[in-house]
Every structure is written in C-alpha cells, then in structure tokens.
Amino acid sequence: MTAIALTELIEGAAALEPGEHDGWRPRRLPPWARAQHDDTWFDLMEQAPTGVSLRFATAASLLRLRLHTRSVRPAGAGTVRPHKLALVVDGALSGHVTIPEGDVVIIGADRAVAGRERRDPSVVTLALPSGGREKQVEIMLPHDCAVEIISLDADAAIAPPPAGDSPLWTHYGSSISHGLEASAPDRTWPARVALANGWRLRNLSFGGNAQLDPFVARMIRDTPADLITLKVGINLVNVDSMRARTMLPAVHGFLDLIRDGHPDTPVVLITAIACPAHEHTPGPTVDRGGSAAGAERALEADGGALTLAGTRRIIERAHADRRPDDPHLHLVDGRTLLGEDDAGLLGDGLHPTEEGLGLIARRFQAAVAGLPALAGLLGGRR
C-alpha cells in the first residue's frame, strides 16, 4: 500500500501534512487555524493524534505498519513512557502494540524547545483473527506523541471502510479529555465512551489549551457531527487567561459560532471536574511538591479573578440564558463525573489517573443516557 492510499484510511484528523519520511502526519487542526496562535505547547499538543485512527476493511490476518513518532520530554526527565497503538476489530478491542521510541523533543522549564534526539522509523506487526472473513479494523494512533504514518502492508487487500451510519461525536476539552495519563489511546475517557457506543470520535482536546479559541469553534462549526460536547473551565484557571468579565461573552461567542453550522445538533456543555486546589483559589496553577496548587497571589481583593467554582457559575448562566431559545443545548455538572469525594483519583491533584478516567467515562455515559434527546445515540451503531 502506498502512502497516498493511506490518506483514504485516516479518520479524525483535520489535515494531513507530508512528513520527513515520505509519509503523512495527521494534524487535528487545519493550517489556517494553526496560524492563529503562537504557542509552542499548544502546537505540540495539537500534533498528538488523540482520537485519530486508521479505519479499513480487510480479510487479512497480518498487518505491518511503518511509522515514526516524535515525543515530548521535559529537560532532565527520564525516558519517555512507551507509546502504544490500540487495535479494534469489528468494534471490540483486540489488543495493544508498543511502538519503538522515535524522535524526542526536549522542552525546557520555559516550555521552549531545548533540544532533540533523533531515531529512525519503526515497523510494528499487528495480528488479526484468521479465517479469511472480512473484518472492520481500526488502528487507534497513540494519543501522547506526534506520528508519521509511512506505509501499511497486509497479506490481503485493504479497502476504505463502508460509509455506515455510526454517530459522529466531536468533543472539545483540556488535558483531562486529551488523556495523557492513559496508558493507551483507547483508555482516554472519550475513547472509552466512543468504543462503548460505536461512535466515531473527533477529539479536539488539547492539554493546557481549552481556551475557547474562536478558530476551534469555527472548525467545530464546519465539521459534521451528530453530537458535540464542550468541557470547559480548568485551563482558563490554570494559566489565569480570563476573568469573569471576559469568560461569559467568550462562552456565548464560542456557542454562536458552532450554532452557525449546527443549529439543531445536540450540544452538551460540561463544567469542570473537581480540583480542590482551584475550587475557590484563582490561578495560575503551580507545582508544589509534585501536586497542583494555586499560586500565592499578592493582590488586593479581586472578585473578577476566576476560580473553578466561578467558571461553573458562568457556564451555568450561559446555558440558562440560551436554553429558552435553544432546546438542543444541555448541561452536565463536571463534579457528577468526578467530584471532591473522588479527589484521590487525581494523581497530581489536577489530572485523573487511568482509574479516574474510567470513572469519568462511566459516569458520562450515565449522564448522557439521562438526557432524553441524546439517549438514541447510545448503545451502538444506529
């Protein structure tokens, strides 16, 4: 199979750009959107293809995928955790395959690139059930590094998947939805939900960067979707990027842009999960002994500074303001997904462990099932 044919199999990406090894690098934002920010960390997070997969139909029993990864590692840290592919056959997880380490980008304390380590591409082998029958195959790309897909070979013909009618889900969120704490791409909470329901996921979650950027809203506007979910709050506090005055109009503006392209699509606003360090303490977030904490702000009383509780009130108000004219807009309190009683599942006081991500997935499933307008999307392909 040639690299050009691969473009027909890659789903969940906004753009494919040529790589350094004659392959294709999936990008989750198109070039015009990437041109509208200037943040190295955002760029690195956007390149990690969480929610991006190779999907195809084949009767093959053996696949050989040639690819190259590029990881991010803080200066002075040890080796990068192994990256994995998840293999899904006929809608069920078949197993994981570890990818040999590729290039590593070393990031300094100021989040600027401090160095690089370079390695050659790798080939991984994936075994499929034998028997000669055609199977629907999904290879979920790693969620925690950039990837260049170079070639895919098989011992039988490969074809693009049938069009089908699986619901299309677009999710927007922070690192908690990006899922960097997950051990494999199918273990992020959005991926768990998508697998359980037979949904096709477009994951627009960017570690540290759920900042209500208008270019993301425009992309959601222009992307086909049967369900849109927006999980907002924690990153606005983490980097102290907004105040109460600016957040409410930003939420409305984000929703206005989405509604320009999706006037009747169900949209679910999800407030922040619990984070004791910031429930009533403004950002920015600092690392204090390996755990997230609010900065000690040498300020006078500042009622406009955002706390996590404040972000929830603003999102609740936006929902209440819009709901009379928008019956397809719904609200889920993030604390019902992971609350203060579950704070032990926040490994660093901010990010859920893999166990915590599983809890969020199960509770999100229950929350959506409780919304009559969305219940029809649950329980598998329509």
Is-above-0.85 flag for pTM?
A: yes
Say yes or no: do domains 3-159 and 168-377 share a fold: no
What is the pLDDT, as a whole number, of residue 130?
83
What is the pLDDT, as a whole number, of residue 77?
75
- pLDDT tens for the 382 residues of the chain, in order: 544 478 999 999 999 999 999 999 999 999 999 999 999 889 989 999 999 999 999 999 999 999 999 998 888 777 778 999 999 999 999 999 999 999 998 888 777 788 888 999 999 999 999 877 899 999 999 999 999 999 999 999 999 888 777 899 999 999 999 999 999 999 999 999 999 999 999 999 999 999 999 999 999 999 999 999 999 999 999 999 999 999 999 999 999 999 999 999 999 999 999 999 989 888 776 666 667 656 666 555 577 889 999 999 999 999 999 999 999 999 999 999 999 999 999 998 999 999 999 999 999 999 988 888 777 776 544 3
What is the pLDDT, as a whole number, of residue 134?
93
What is the pLDDT, as a whole number, of residue 303?
72
Query: Position 93: which residue type?
Result: L
**Which tokens hold the place of 295?**
């900065």
What is the pLDDT, as a whole number, of residue 358?
98
What is the pLDDT, as a whole number, of residue 258?
98
Q: Hey, what CATH class is 3-159 in?
A: mainly beta
What is the pLDDT, as a whole number, of residue 67?
97
Question: Any idea where the domains of the chain sit in the sequence?
Answer: 3-159, 168-377
Q: Which fold, 168-377? A: Rossmann fold (3.40.50)
